[in-house]
Amino acid sequence: MPKISIDPKLAKKIIQIKEKFDFESGHLHPSSENDEGILSKCDNYQAPRQAKDLGIYPYFREIEEITNSAHVVIDGRDVVTLSSNNYLGIAKDPRVIAAGIKALEKFGIGCTGSRFLNGTLSLHRTLEQNISNFLGREDTIVMSTGFQANQGTISCLLGRQDVAFSDRENHASIYEGCAIAQGKTLRYRHNDMDHLEHLLKKNSQVKGKIIITDSVFSMSGDIANLPEIVKLAKNHGASLLVDEAHGLGVLGDNGRGACEYFDVEKDVDIYMGTFSKSLGSIGGFISSKKNIAEYIRHKASAFIFTAALPPASVAGVIEGLNIIIGESKRRKRLCENTAFIKRSLFEMGIQVNNNQVPIVPIQIGDEAVTLYMNRLLFDDGLFAGVAVSPVVPPLKAMIRTSYTCGHTKEDLKSIATSFNKNLKKLGVLS
């Protein structure tokens, strides 16, 4: 075993963090325990304050300016962002901004109503038709967020007698959709096809079955084994919903996601996507056969009982989709950047996924070390996201990094250098 030495001053700081930060009860994400009255949990929840006092609080950092998809200004300082999902740099593209301004002037800042009653603009229908054409699907419903697209779709489809089979690493919006649905949900181990098959076999008598999976998992950057999932769905008479939040624009020769990458588009019943990642905006959608979309359009509470996506966002996404369709060079550059950073990190001894996904988690494990590492990165001019329990299992804390086509080689080299230096400092790397 190589001998790892840590600077004594740093070791002292980490020990201080471990002693002062109440990891047992103080997880940065509150527990739902309620033994002294409904609001007592708020009084007892000290973790954010403790973390702020220790200088390791990583959340709600105020971005003062967005320079481009790779640089932002925080505390008056230019920093490289490692936490943007603006993979293709579309959010600040001048054409997208011009389209947004035009819609803003024509329609105002909001729709002041639900799509269902009074909030559907011609812009919404144009975007729906454009998405349907792009994905080769019969119909599309544009919703106000990706979260609502999952929650609304799943909760209205999963009836009392039905069963959903959901990957354990699926996004929270899928969990929430399943939780409020009338039907049952069974969670299979992450990307474990044997477990999925076992659960499907055990429920062979159930008529209404649906498999639900992210195509690209937002924390690990894993890609779902869609070819196998499709096979299992066919063999067991299950429908299939695929969440392409992180696949859209990124994977596939034309950017239609992991479904295109694996050539299984025709086998997926419901394609769910968001506008908040590669399209650089906000909103979500589902695309499917006409009769499925028509049902969801009239039944999904999260779609019906909420205000419509604002005009400027819709117009911006229409333009953004044109850019995805017309400029494959952005995807190519993203792919090169992803390969470059993964190779750099791998050569340092960091485990990385050997795929094209621009989400690269840096597993550290210990929460105190992870929070402190994030602080050291920030001191070096890098803005990254942290995932601690219960977002990830205890002792599986990580820095979640993501990359865009806008990162330069210099940006990527400075990221690799900072990780190398600080992970060694903290004794995570030998």
Ligand X SMILES: Cc1ncc(COP(=O)(O)O)c(C=O)c1O
Catalytic residues: 218, 246, 277
* Shortest reach from residue 245's CB to ligand X, in Å: 3
Beta strands at 184-188 and 163-167: parallel, antiparallel or unpaired: parallel
Kind and range of the H or E run holding 64: strand 63-66
Cβ distance 219 to 398 under 8 Å?
Answer: yes
What letter represents residue 239's amino acid? S
3-state secondary structure of 63: strand
Which residues, 6+ apart, have CB-to-CB distance to 329 below 8 Å?
none
Which residues, 6+ apart, have CB-to-CB distance to 175 below 8 Å?
166
Spatial distance between the Cα atoms of 88 and 85, rounded to a whole number of angstroms: 9
Q: Which is nearer to ligand X, 134 or 217 (CB)?
A: 217
What is the residue-wise DSSP string for 197-257? HHHHHHTTT-S-EEEEEESB-TTT--B--HHHHHHHHHHTT-EEEEE-TTTTTTSSTTS--
Q: Which is nearer to ligand X, 284 or 406 (CB)?
A: 284
* Shortest reach from residue 235's CB to ligand X, in Å: 26
Q: Which is nearer to ligand X, 26 or 247 (CB)?
A: 247
Binding site for ligand X (CB under 6 A): 145-147, 150, 171, 173, 214, 218, 243, 245-246, 274, 276, 284
* Shortest reach from residue 174's CB to ligand X, in Å: 7
Identify the CA nearest to 243 among candidates 287, 277, 213. 213
DSSP 117: I
Task: Give the E-state strand segments of 113-229 in sequence order.
Answer: 139-143, 163-167, 184-188, 209-214
* Shortest reach from residue 144's CB to ligand X, in Å: 9
* Shortest reach from residue 246's CB to ligand X, in Å: 6
* Shortest reach from residue 423's CB to ligand X, in Å: 26
Give the distance, in angstroms, between the CA of residue 130 and the centroid of all CA atoms in the same chain.
23
3-state secondary structure of 326: helix
CB closest to ligand X, residue no: 146
